[in-house]
Amino acid sequence: MLNKTLNVKFEPATSRLNLQETEVGSVFVSNYPAYSFWNEHDLPTGMRALDSSPGENTLGLYLHIPFCRKRCKFCYFRVYTDKNSSQIQEYLDALATEVELYATKAAIQGRPLKFVYFGGGTPSYISAKHLEALTTKIKAVIPWTGVEEVTFECEPGTLSQAKLEKIREIGVTRLSLGIENFNDFILEENGRAHLSKEIYQVLPWVEALDFEQLNIDLIAGMVGETLSTWKENIQKTIDCNPDSVTIYQMELPFNTVYTKLLTGEATELHIANWQTKREWHQLAIEELAAAGYEISSAYTMVRKDKKCNFVYRDAVWHGTDMIGSGVASFGHINGCHLQNTASWDEYLTSLQSGKLPLTRAFSTSLEERKTREMILQLKLGHIEPAYFKEKYDADILTEFQAAFEKLATEGMLEFNAKKIQMTVNGLLRVDQLLPEFYAEKYRNARYT
């Protein structure tokens, strides 16, 4: 049960909080330092980074498609459910223009892409015609030749056989189905647009098109979930035989429908506490392992009998440069974090006038980039000190000795001179452990 506690000082993503109940605030750590430290004053530095020659990093492209049939009650992303076809076309034209502008920058020009990621929102919401036109424009300015992975997020109810064929045709290698749950009552309660019948309708089409990798997303602890329904979810996922399964634990960041309900008349919301969610997550790991899967990261299980790459994930967690295109999107170029405006009108107006829609940035130091890589790579379950010695000339075991020893004492990890290994208990709560490694000035802050 979640009580109405909105006077949050700190968030788990920036503070070592031993959470019991699911309170309001971000838990999942996707970047460092926290977004709240990004600012408009660093924008000139960000523009200089774009106008500078690139370093030795790889380069990826993120494309934000912010449209959905419905807004999930736990969603905090910038999405729209009220745009018509012409408005969607206007946005996609602007998105292509943005990539065209990036392609002229010294930091980007002529560089090959390692990955392309269609995220949302719901990329599969747009029509096959829209998708084909968008990718044709983008490939004309930044060729995808040699791209190792093209990921495409989907909501089952937005897919048709013809649309899937187009998704496959444009070069998508990794299809990620946002199933989240197989129970219709839970799907409806949490505001998901699809129902279970739509999941089973699309799976044969996906299988026939032979995508290199099929991923299924699940969320442990959605409102209305019980141990019984969670066990059914695990088994139904195994029956679908995906190449990988990504499991997130339900959280309630600011600006979600559920969070806003708590500011109104609702005084409580029935949702699993953190210990229950970790137990359910661990049960999924155990059941998937028994079915032939193995741990790939804190969130992901992969089939043992098929090599599954996560190029986007691994590149980002190893400090890649990334063009972040689309409303509210963020990227990282030449050591500088960059983020676009979250305003629909400002995004379109900027690009129609030939300007990148950037509104804030953060110029990172070598120390901050090293810490960012280290905490993100800990999500893989293991890191090697030698990597950081070679790349940053840093001895992380000495620099972070107190943090490693504390977490080892708590049973969250084990370490020696060659390897730092998260325990399963540590992996199940890894995001809540990472602030242990933050510089003091970045702790106990608003995350976004």
Residue 127 and residue 244 in one domain: yes
Strand 59-65 with 321-325, pairing:
parallel
Please report where in the chains the tokens 């190029």 appear, as a residue. Answer: 311
Predicted confidence band of residue 3 (pLDDT cuts 50, 70, 90): very low
Q: Is 327 inside any structural domain?
A: no
pLDDT of 299-311, one tens digit each? 999 999 998 989 9
C-alpha–C-alpha distance, residues 222 and 161, integer Å:
29
Give the domain-ending residue among 314, 341, 357.
314
The CA-CA-CA angle for residues 430, 431, 437, to 5°, reads 90
The CA-CA-CA angle for residues 225, 176, 327, to 5°, reads 95
The CA-CA-CA angle for residues 38, 40, 42, to 5°, reads 75
pLDDT at 60 (0 to 100): 98
Q: Is 346 inside any structural domain?
A: no
- Given a cut of 60, whether residue 39 has pLDDT beyond it is yes
Residue 392 and residue 253 in one domain: no
Give the domain-ending residue among 291, 314, 337.
314
Residue 103 and residue 237 in one domain: yes
pLDDT of 192-209, one tens digit each? 999 999 999 999 999 999
pLDDT at 167 (0 to 100): 98
- Given a cut of 60, whether residue 97 has pLDDT beyond it is yes
Residue 220 and residue 303 in one domain: yes
In whole numbers, what is the pLDDT of the chain averaged over residues? 94
pLDDT at 267 (0 to 100): 56
The domain tally of the chain equals 2
* Sign of the Cα pseudo-torsion (109, 148, 170, 326, in order): negative
- Given a cut of 50, whether residue 4 has pLDDT beyond it is no
pLDDT of 19-32, one tens digit each? 888 888 889 999 99
Domain encompassing residue 118 = 2-314
Q: Is 133 inside any structural domain?
A: yes
Residue 138 and residue 208 in one domain: yes
What is the CATH number for 305?
3.80.30.20
- Given a cut of 60, whether residue 392 has pLDDT beyond it is yes
pLDDT of 242-279, one tens digit each? 999 999 999 988 888 888 877 666 556 778 999 999 99
